[in-house]
Structures are given as structure tokens and as C-alpha cells.
Structure 1
């Protein structure tokens, strides 16, 4: 069975078969994707351009914004284009490549969020050692470790999926190539492999989520010893992180911690963590952060002055 593979392309069933709904979704998701690219790119440009935003917190925030753009770009352009065509196809090779990028960027984002929580823990709970621990070298290594972790995670399950036999049918009940819907099309027993994927995906998300929750509980408890001004500033920063963590990890953990039984439900939930959360992240971080808003205003003023000259 391992050598049987007469599938050269897959067909996505997409989010809806209704032409009117697809037209509405085309406009809606196009707006979402443009907002994701512009909003997150603005944060990256602002952090890179501003001398005031040179702390590790903003260094990690710029990487999170960059990953959000990459993560959404792995699914959104294909999804948006498919709303305009009746037959939504993707080649077998293209499907495996898309699966790799989705899980590579998704897992990397998980690790970056964990790193950001560690940064806040050191800043609030170990303030005297913050500059000693969170050096530029340490920050660089933490980012590299996040990328490497995401790469190994994605490479493992992509290689396992590529080795499966596919002999039909070839219709994927989703809008992008994900492990669970693709696994259902393999013409062999995939029960054990399905469990491996649940552990590989679900446990990474669940353990990371628990680590984040515990770290923020420790941070909140330690704030009792801070001044009221310091407490308000720390709560504002941590509040943004906690909001992003809940929005991303909630639906993501729900999808991957169990074997999929309802694909229609799973693909609707997937819209939330592949498109909605990356779109909301820039708003969450800028609306609650005066330093970022101030840097954006200065960047805009500088651009206007240069254009006026």
C-alpha cells in the first residue's frame, strides 16, 4: 500500500458551496487579509524604525507580527482566490507544501508567545537581573530556538503524511491542507498515525498554553509587591499578551487536542486562528500600549514632513 498514490491533486470543499455566500466571503476575507498585512507590517516597521522601542519586549513583538503575516499568507491568498472559482483544486505537492508552512509558522508563533511570556516574567519578577538575563544575544537565541522548534515540528508530520498512500477519493473537507482532513483520505489504517499527530500538535499547544497560564499567574501574584503605578503598567502589558494567548490558543488547542470528528466545525474554528487572531493582534498591542502609539505618531509625522519637503 505504501507505493500506491494515484492522486495528483486534491479538491477543497471550502467554507461554503453557496455562490452568494462565497461572494460575501471573498470581500470579507480580502479585507481581513489586507488588514493583517498592513497592521502587522506597520508594527514591524515601527519597532525597527523607533529608537525608543529597542527593548526585548518589542523585539519579540516585531517577530510575532512578522510571523502573523507569514502564517496568514500560507492559507489566505488561496482561500480568497478559491471563492472566485467553482472547482477549488491544489496539487498533491502544493498540498504538502502548504501543510508544512501552516504548521511551521503556527508552531513558531506558539513558541514566540511562550518566549514573550518568559520575557515578561523576568521583567516583572526578576527586575534586577532583567538586563543581565535578557541580553541581545539571549533574545536572538530564543527567536532561533522558536523557528527551529517550529521547523522540526512541521517537518516531522509533513514527512509522515507524504509517505501515506492516497488512491481516492481526493476531496478535502476544508479550505487548506491540514493533517486531520488529509489523513482521512489515506487508503490505509491511520489510527496510530492520527494519535501521533494529536500528540505532536495538541500536546505542543496544550503544554505551551498551560506554561503560559502558570507564568501569568506567577506574574500577577508577584505584582502585589509593586507600586500602584508599576502594577498598572505591568497589567496593561500582560493584559495584551493574555488576550492574544487566549484568542490564539483557545481555538487552536480545541482543534488539535482531539481526533477530528466534525470537519465543518473544525474549518470554521480554523478561520479564527488563521485569520481573525492575526488581524486583531496589532489592534490589541497598539490600543493598550502608549509607547507603540507614540512611536507610530512620530513615524507618521516624520513621513509627512519628509513628503512635504
Structure 2
């Protein structure tokens, strides 16, 4: 016999959490995440995406008013500082592509009043648009994605919107890099059998070097991907990639191990879980640590699972919990 429906938890979870964290980031320290676009609103549908597959989009829109984003950020910053916590960056790293937000520029300026550096993690696919480049200039730290250079590899790996043009996108990245005054970084996700052959790695290293970033990061799939069979390259291949980047004078670093997550308490226990899994699948032990901070038990997760808000996935020998896409939820 089934128990009663967990509607009490549904009432405490917003459909869209504008801020989450802060969480630990090897690149940015203690990062407060800003989720400025709806879930899976992206120009890509990468085969390795940890949020699942969805049709790519290309039309920009103001999804949430910049002042509403700023209000949510400022409120959370005050809470963290009052609790004696630390925030090193305010990071636009949503469950999609942040530059699809036509209000991104004003939002960056609004949250900048918190006097905490602002970061944006983008795939760079819209930087051929002048207004997108201008929106990003005020940010203190920007990361661009360079996963592939050849047309066939790009379309197989990133599965971009059909109207995107790889060469046009590359030119946009170069224009942005040449004028950007903040700290520029790049990230390259390497997937076995897709973009890890020597010829493609050489092309990627050349493209990254042309941007002259302060840091270049090489990453591999660590959490459940959108497409089954996606896996990291061999250690030999990763070493070869590192050497190619270093030979071009790049400051290259691996992001190939899970970072220990110490998630900060905010809102209700259900809100804390949902706000994070919306953009970052969590291992079971990470959720247990988060719930312990609220003095809450596993029944919170049981309720969210029963409602279809989250689902369980096994990957790489670990159990993860991810946000269920709207169309897959239980009625």
C-alpha cells in the first residue's frame, strides 16, 4: 500500500531556482551559481551533457527580469555572509546557455553591485553577435568552450542548432578575446572516440591558442551523460592533449577528477536539493551531506522521487540524482 502524496515538498520547491550554492569550484573557489535561463535552454545538445538531452534553441529572450535576478543574488549573498560564509565569484552557470538571456548584460551589471567578481561560463556559440559580446565585456571572468574544430566532430559532439555556423562562431570568439579586458579561460571536454584523435586535438589546441586565454582546462565526462556510451579518453590520450596545449604556450590544467562538494544550506531542504540538481547532478553522498546540514532525513529525497521531481541514475560506479525534465515528470 502506497503512502500519501508528498505535496508538502512540492509547495516548498520553486519551478526555477535563480541562485544555488555557493559550491566549491577548483577554478573559482566558492562560487554562487546564477541560473538565468530555464532548464535545458541551450544552443547545443551535447552528447555528454549531464542535464539530459533536449532540442537546441537559438532565439534570445529575457526569461527573468535582471532586477529579479539581482534581488535573488543579493538576498543570498547577505544570507551567506551573515552565516560567516564566503563567496569568491557570482557565476552565471545555468542549466542551459547563459547568453540566450537577452537580459544578461544588465543582469551582470546589477549583480556587480555586490562587489564580488562576476563570472560567466558559456559555450561561446553566440559570440558572433555583437550584442552578446558587449553583454559579456563587464564580467570579470569568462570561460569559452572549445570542444571541436572540424565541422563533423563539432556536430557529432556538441549537436548545435542547425542555424549555427562553426567558422562564424570561431570568428566571434576571436573578436571577443581580442577586446575582453577580464580573465579569459577555455574549457575542452574530451570524449573517447569522438574528439580525441591526434589530428582533432591539434586543431583544438591551435584554436585555443589563438584566443590567448589565461588558463585552459581539459575535462572529461564524470557525471551521467545525455547519451549512453560516452566515456573519457585513455590516460595516454589525455597526456598527449596536455602536451599539445603546453607546446603552444598555454597554461593547461586537467579537470578530470570529481571535486568534493560542500554544499551550503539555503531555503528548505527540498529547495536546496532542487536548486543544485537543476544544474549539477549530485552523488548520493553529496545529498546526504546536504540534508544533514538541514537536520533533514532521506525522506526529502523519497518525496522528490515520488513526485517525479528528480530521478536516480547509475554511472561510473556511483549513484547520481538529477532533475527530471518537465516532459518526463509524473502527473
Indicate the TM-score class for this superposition, using the shorter chain for normalisation: under 0.3
- TM-score, normalising length: structure 2: 0.25
TM-score normalised by the chain length of structure 1: 0.26
Q: Which has the higher strand share?
A: 2
Larger radius of gyration: 1
